[in-house]
Structure 1
Amino acid sequence: MIKKKLKPSVTQQSILISSLPDDLILSCVARVSRLYYPTLSLVSKSFRSLLASPELYKARSLLGRTESCLYVCLRLTPFKSNSWFTLCRKPHQTLTSKKKKKSSGYVLATVPIPHSPRAHLSGLVAVGSDIYNIGGCRKIYETPPSSSVWILDCMSHTWREAPSLPVEPMRLSASVLDGKIYVAGSKESLENLFEVFDTKTQTWDPESSIPCSKTKGIFLWSKSTCIDGKLHVVADRHGVVSPMGAVIAYNCKEGRWDMVEQNMECFKFSSSHCEIDNVLYCVLHGAIKWYDTKVRLWSRLKGLVKLPKFSHDACIKLADYGGKIAVLWVDESSYSGGKKNKIWCAEIALERRQNCEIWGEVEWFGHVLTVPSTCVLEKVLAVTV
């Protein structure tokens, strides 16, 4: 009688791995996609320590293995601190039923971040391997932003405090251009706030601060983006929040403000936006639209026939995922009982065609997380690690 060979247990595999030289383990893990790190962290405590070590990421950089990694900020229950998740690959699984649909192979895994500060959504931006939380604080119940600045190191998954904003904001929005973070907002006195943070020197640059007296409006909308080498900000013309708000642009090289043509309405009223290769993508009325400053027209992103129809704009978030669009949305009709919702994710490759149109190709999409119905999808960011 032929006996079947038994597969080694997880404990035996851990012992075999730990018996290898440290340099060899480091070299092997550095070649593995970051999408598998949440699963690898379950091997042992020493493996978890290795996955958060700076030596590992130095090795990844030397080997040319850096990649975009998606982080998702959720508020699972009201009046609680934010929870962070990262996109990862599922461990290999065999479906037991033929009726089950083929999985996308991706899930959102919890990121174990102790003592995470409250996130200020319009102040969350990604630079390199760090996520900056500008205007966040430790007080969960405080609604207005604070002057605090926190940085999440996405290699070690630890927070550190950075120099605070020079002034206390009432509203703010942060955008990134050439390694600098531009913060636009307003003070309680309804004066404009505009500060520049240099991520290389980790300082607020007083010489680079944009003269607020030259702006053509008050920054009450807390929405900004960088496109075409300029900082675009939604400003109110009359000093009160109204649909008459205009978009103004600051030319960082020439140091002047300009009014932007009236066809920026999609940006003003969109629920989420991202910039990829100098093209602005927005969500409006359940559709993804794009805007190129050369064409100066909004067009619907074509080729997304595989995606289901989006119901509520507020439940959709976009991010630049290594030159592709990552789309996350909440399906509120997932469960008839109304106690749980499903979060879905899609990765869209982009192609610019000869007629100046941009088409999208859905590479994959699927259900990545089940959450309580009270959960709010707040922000999606991509870092480079």
Structure 2
Amino acid sequence: MSKPRRKYSTHPPPPSLSSLPEEIVLRCLALVPRSSHLSLSLVSKNVRSLVRSPELNGLRSIRHKSSLYVCLRKSYNYLNIHWFTLRPSEKTATAAMEYRLVPNPTPFPPHRYGSSTVVVGSNIFFIGGSGEPSTDLWILDTRSGDMTQGPSMSVAREKGELAVGVIDGKIYVIGGGRSFPEERFNEEIQVEVFDLKSETWEIVGMENLRKTSRCSASVEGKVYMVEYKETNVYNPRECERERMVRMVSQRLEKGGRKDMLNDSAFLVCVVEDVLYAFFNRSGVMWFDTKLNVWRRLLGRDGKELPFILRADAMAEYDDGRLVIFYVLRKVEVVDTVTKSVRCMVVSLHRSGDMICGTVDWSGIVGTVPYSFGFLQCLTVSN
């Protein structure tokens, strides 16, 4: 009995990345988030050299060009406002890269900038009131400096009591519409949506929620609200009764154990579609949306980062990096007229199911009057 003949495929193997021209490979790599560069560098020596090349950084900066807008104000004075931009200095043969807060070149009109904010492209949307409820919507064009008033909401809302996020070309505003102090813990929270195309507001329902938080951001098509001991998630793509999910906040410890996160967050931001929060005692953590747990930001060696212990503002900067600002405390300030603003620029890298951080730069970026503090820190597309 004769053996059956082996069948050989006549189709050539698919081309590998190394078989493509270097220019095309660089354009492909420019589409990959910076946080995945560590994993990419393990593919081959050639890919590792391209990931570290200045040509790739140039392509990414062109594709993902944005600016960081920082707003500082005098304490309890929403009219004494100053806008700054974080700028890197040019490298020289004798000096390393430095960063400075410089006055924003575009003159912004006087306004009560303390409202809740979201950024869409080059526009900043200011929603509700800063010290008292308001139905106002104001839109700041950061390119021209023009401020225009949009259509009013149906309910007056106040910063600190409402959550905001941008999903599918719509701004979602959750809660913040209480009229009396006793309504702070009302179980029924109203959700109102602003359609960016039609420029109209629509009430899309009531959600069962104890209260909303000033710490909110949109990630993966959902609005996350970080509150003490709990994290609430609003998913507009789910059916009516499953949109709001309230979870007990947990953090993932060594060995896969989950512990209660009895901590308060007062800052959140999104970097390459990952939610980061600064907690009072735990420092910077990121939210694992697959396991629904908070995880620590680790160093390259897998150990906890001890250096990010303070933050007054944070945001995404320079295409996938995390920037953190803080001002010196009173006990650290000798001069009671001015105080220094410090900054950390942190690169983020994915390593398996972990996110690791590396401080690229740390130092003083400016000096402000003693009574000044952070009001806004926003990443705006150019």
Q: Return the TM-score normalized by structure 2.
A: 0.67
Q: Which residue number corresponds to residue 187 of structure 1?
A: 178
Q: Which residue number corresponds to residue 167 of structure 1?
A: 155
2:168 aligned partner, one-letter code: D
Q: Which residue number corresponds to residue 345 of structure 1?
A: 343
Q: Which residue number corresponds to residue 224 of structure 2?
A: 232
2:233 aligned partner, one-letter code: A
1:325 aligned partner, one-letter code: L
2:341–2:367 Cα contact (<8 Å) kept: yes
Aligned partners of 2:69, 2:62: CA distance in 1, in Å?
Answer: 21
Mapping of residues 349-360 of structure 1, within 5 Å: 349-354=347-352, 356-360=353-357
Q: Find out whether 1:252 has 2:243 as its counterpart.
A: no
Aligned with residue 326 of structure 1, among 318, 323, 326: 323
Change (3 A) 1:144 1:325: same
Using the TM superposition, name which of 269-278 and 220-229 deviates more. Answer: 220-229
Using the TM superposition, name which of 153-162 and 326-335 deviates more. Answer: 326-335
The alpha carbon displacement at 1:224 in A equals 2.7
Aligned partners of 2:75, 2:189: CA distance in 1, in Å?
Answer: 33
1:40-78 deviations in whole A, cap 9, x for unaligned?
xxxxxxxxxxxxxxxxxxxxxxx9566110001111344
2:103 aligned partner, one-letter code: T
1:6-60 deviations in whole A, cap 9, x for unaligned?
xxxxxxxxxxxxxxxxxxxxxxxxxxxxxxxxxxxxxxxxxxxxxxxxxxxxxxx
Structure 2: runs of 5 or more not aligned: 1-60, 251-259
Corresponding residue SS for 2:248: coil
The alpha carbon displacement at 1:338 in A equals 3.1
Corresponding residue SS for 2:247: coil
1:338–1:373 Cα contact (<8 Å) kept: yes
The alpha carbon displacement at 1:311 in A equals 5.5
The alpha carbon displacement at 1:359 in A equals 0.4
The alpha carbon displacement at 1:249 in A equals 2.3
Q: Which residue number corresponds to residue 151 of structure 1?
A: 139
1:184–1:219 Cα contact (<8 Å) kept: no
Change (3 A) 1:267 1:167: farther
Structure 1: runs of 5 or more not aligned: 1-62, 96-101, 137-141, 236-242
Mapping of residues 1-385 of structure 1, within 5 Å: 64=62, 67-81=65-79, 82-90=81-89, 104-111=97-104, 112-121=106-115, 123-136=116-129, 143-170=131-158, 171-185=161-175, 186-188=177-179, 190=183, 192-204=189-201, 206=202, 209-212=203-206, 215-233=207-225, 246-255=230-239, 256-263=242-249, 269-284=264-279, 285=281, 287-303=283-299, 309=307, 312=310, 315-321=311-317, 322-332=319-329, 335-354=333-352, 356-385=353-382
Q: Which has the higher strand share?
A: 2
Aligned partners of 1:131, 1:266: CA distance in 2, in Å?
Answer: 32
How much is the aligned-residue C-alpha RMSD, in angstroms? 3.2
Aligned partners of 1:162, 1:93: CA distance in 2, in Å?
Answer: 46
Aligned partners of 1:159, 1:91: CA distance in 2, in Å?
Answer: 33
Change (3 A) 1:361 1:93: closer
Corresponding residue SS for 1:156: coil
The alpha carbon displacement at 1:88 in A equals 2.0
The alpha carbon displacement at 1:343 in A equals 1.1
Number of residue pairs the alignment of both structures matches:
295
Aligned partners of 2:344, 2:275: CA distance in 1, in Å?
Answer: 18
2:340–2:367 Cα contact (<8 Å) kept: yes
Aligned partners of 1:66, 1:311: CA distance in 2, in Å?
Answer: 29
Change (3 A) 1:341 1:334: farther
1:72–1:379 Cα contact (<8 Å) kept: yes
The alpha carbon displacement at 1:180 in A equals 1.9
Q: Which residue number corresponds to residue 42 of structure 2?
A: none
Change (3 A) 1:266 1:381: farther
